[in-house]
Amino acid sequence: MGDRWELGAAAGGSLLLCAALLAAGCALGLRLGRGRGAADRWALVWLCYDALVHFVLEGPFVCLSLVGNVANSDGLIASLCISCRSPCACVSCTAVG
């Protein structure tokens, strides 16, 4: 890191998405946990957030891996993979060539 630490557009978008997923997981978990103890409500919050992350972030990556590869995609998940290393060393990119 240099004198200034800046996030790229892809990393900023990813952080915003994770924050939105956290807010949605909290809202859903707290709504489902009405009438239960505090520990149960927070466990439901965590489970709802975790499920949302699996469906929203990991699901598209798995689908993309089954029908194509990250190196030839221009989506958010692919841009995070490609921008973190030059050249990319992820499994999908190294399998291509």
List the domain boundaries for the chain.
Answer: 2-74
Q: What angle do CA 76, 17, 83 make, to 5 degrees?
A: 35
| Residue 42 CB coordination number (10 Å) | 15
Counting as low any pLDDT under 70, the low residues of the chain are 1-5, 68-97
pLDDT for the residue numbered 5:
64
pLDDT for the residue numbered 13:
82
pLDDT for the residue numbered 48:
93
pLDDT for the residue numbered 71:
66
Give the Cα separation of 41 and 26 in Å (integer): 9
70, 92 Cβ separation under 8 angstroms: yes
89, 71 Cβ separation under 8 angstroms: no
pTM score, two decimals? 0.61
pLDDT for the residue numbered 4:
67
Three-state DSSP string of the chain:
CCCCCCCCHHHHHHHHHHHHHHHHHHHHHHHHCCCCCHHHHHHHHHHHHHHHHHHHHHHHHHHHHHHCCHHHCCCHHHHHHHHHCCCCCCHHHHHHC
pLDDT for the residue numbered 15:
86
